[in-house]
Structure 1
Amino acid sequence: MKASRMATKTKLHPRNQHSEGYDFARLVAQTPELEAFTTRNPRGETTIDFKDVSAVRMLNRALLKTHYNIEFWDIPSGYLCPPIPGRVDYIHYLADLLADSNNQDIPRGPHIKALDIGTGASLVYPLTGQSEYGWSFTGVDIDAGALKSARQICEFNNLKIALRRQDNPENTFSGVIKAKDAFHLTMCNPPFHASKEKASKGTQRKWSNLGKGHSEQRNFGGQNAELWCPGGEIRFIARMVEQSTEFAQQCLWFTSLVSKKDNLQPLHRILGKARVADYKVVEMAQGQKTSRFIAWTYIKKNQRSSFAKGAET
């Protein structure tokens, strides 16, 4: 089958390499195994069956190799297989956030330090962020299996990405940010369901939207800790804000994805009580879907440039 570009355009960040859709000819040329998973949609365009877990994993492997120079990538069965284009958007908007504190110039290079909370088995943010901007990443997770997978990816690709285990599930920054650490930013894709039951209902909605019907399987996978926690997204991010005060002078920007727009108002009140110096909501669009992340800092505006320079050392 001759592979071709999937023509559907998206509303991704202008610097996102996937804003014109998937170039299947290029992807198959780099990863020939992908061709076996390609098919044609009703418009005659090349695509894959996104209900097929193996197809999604192979597409990710091809994307990471073609666009981000990752020669080897795989994850254990059952772990979250993230959609690459949307994940990379978070990275690009974070670069814009840092540029706001750097005379609108995007800072690049290993002196820029990022902390990825819940880095996962896929290691998707450090892989793409390091490739796009050369930043130094530290990935944190509570799951030993996820960290084992992340280490294997680093070893096979000869990547310098620090990995740390969070031993206490009630903590986010506490226990992993060390006394001498200084980060330009932290990032997180928090579990957004409040219970296993709600996570299962969310799975069924996704399968229904994909025309699959009832299934216990997740098309993008996901362990329980990746999908839900007691209290859901609000409690998780509230705990992040609470613990961030302890490290207020060790990080320029704390950030987290927020899956539900309705959660912004209570988070605004929580951040107000924390007396942050600044707080932003950054919206991102992926196709018909709108997502967002919040960013907060305790560093005053006139001190951010000097903080960034100090974090370089």
Structure 2
Amino acid sequence: MATKNMLHPRNQHRDGYDFVRLVADTPELEAFTISNPAGQTTIDFQDVGAVRMLNRALLKTHYGIDFWDIPANYLCPPIPGRVDYIHYLADLLACGNDQEIPRGPNIKALDIGTGASLVYPLTGQSEYGWHFTGTDIDPAAIKSAQQICQYNKLDITLRQQNIRENIFRGVIEPHDAFHVTLCNPPFHASVEKATKGTQRKWSNLGKGQSKKLNFGGQNAELWCPGGEIKFIARMVEQSTEFADQCLWFSSLVSKKDNLNPLHRILRKAKVADYKVVEMAQGQKTSRFIAWTYIKKSQRSLFLKGANKHNG
């Protein structure tokens, strides 16, 4: 396939998908492969089953995950874009570590809304050896994530969030210290808007109207009252309570128009620093926002101190 040269330089998927290698490792994928008009091997990305099998193959070939599955109708995330977030977070941590990416299980990452797929802990642990804690409000998602961990004998901590309005409260414990948090927030304000957004996406791809949500997805994964901006605003508000327990808080921001109000919210929260990191996958541009309450002169100390804190 064509080179995806917009992906992060360390992203294993910059050169597209090597279907010969993927099918060799996961023979079940072959039944889902098709040829595009240029004669290249691909899959039908509107086929949820095909996308799920591709993810299973990618996780096995590139990240050493022997078993991966999710319940029906749960979000099936595109692996290359998700891994990009991890790589750019690694670069962010390197800024406070003499430009060296910190690796190994002493580096602690907190994944808010880890989902049934557990995609960020699986890829982040494989790439950098970090220890992940994943949280979710959906018991079925936590159960799926637990099964993935058990089958693959992975050391990933999973915590159930029991109060919908809470993000960090109830899951960050007094003894915790995290180097980074990450989140793919629900970006629609209602289920109706989630459905319209998906139909618009399929229309743009020339697929016409489709009642299927893109790659599946449960309500908690796709929408929340007030949408993305309200969710991230609540995240910033609650982050102040854990200012000395985390080096960098972060969240994906799907809508560029949300950046200006988020800048105002972060300034009001009196953060020490914040950054917007642009990412691109093919023609799609995405971004995440990261903020910290730790002064620049103290960040390398936090990296060392957090290791002791978690030891």
Q: Fold conserved (TM > 0.5)?
A: yes
Given the alignment, which residue of 82, 88, 103 partners 1:87?
82
User: 1:30 — aligned with what?
Assistant: 25
Other structure's SS at 2:288 match = strand
Contact 2:195 2:213 in 1 (8 A): no
Q: How many residues align?
A: 308
Given the alignment, which residue of 166, 178, 203 partners 2:173?
178
State the shift of 1:8 in Å: 4.1
Given the alignment, which residue of 205, 209, 217 partners 1:214?
209
Which consecutive residues of structure 2, in runs of 5 or more, have no partner in the other structure? none
User: 1:67 — aligned with what?
Assistant: 62
Instruction: Within 5 Å, give how 1:1-313 maps onto structure 2.
Output: 6-313=1-308
Contact 2:4 2:281 in 1 (8 A): no
TM-score scaled by length of structure 2: 0.98
One-letter code aligned to 1:197: E
Q: Distance in 2 between matches of 1:206 and 1:193?
A: 14
Contact 1:115 1:139 in 2 (8 A): yes
Runs of 4+ in 1 over 6 A off after TM superposition: none
One-letter code aligned to 2:199: Q
TM-score scaled by length of structure 1: 0.97
Contact 1:81 1:221 in 2 (8 A): yes
Q: Deviations over 1:2-38 (max 9, x none)?
A: xxxx234341000000001001111011001111111
Other structure's SS at 2:279 match = strand
Q: Distance in 1 between matches of 2:193 and 2:249?
A: 27
Q: Distance in 2 between matches of 1:76 and 1:287?
A: 29
Other structure's SS at 1:153 match = helix
Q: Distance in 2 between matches of 1:163 and 1:183?
A: 15
Q: Deviations over 1:170-193 (max 9, x none)?
A: 010001000000000000000000
Q: Deviations over 1:61-80 (max 9, x none)?
A: 00000000000000000000
User: 1:3 — aligned with what?
Assistant: none
CA RMSD of aligned residues (A): 0.8
Contact 1:52 1:219 in 2 (8 A): no
Which consecutive residues of structure 1, in runs of 5 or more, have no partner in the other structure? 1-5
Contact 1:113 1:182 in 2 (8 A): yes
Q: Distance in 2 between matches of 1:271 and 1:227?
A: 24
State the shift of 1:206 in Å: 2.1
State the shift of 1:205 in Å: 1.3
One-letter code aligned to 2:271: V
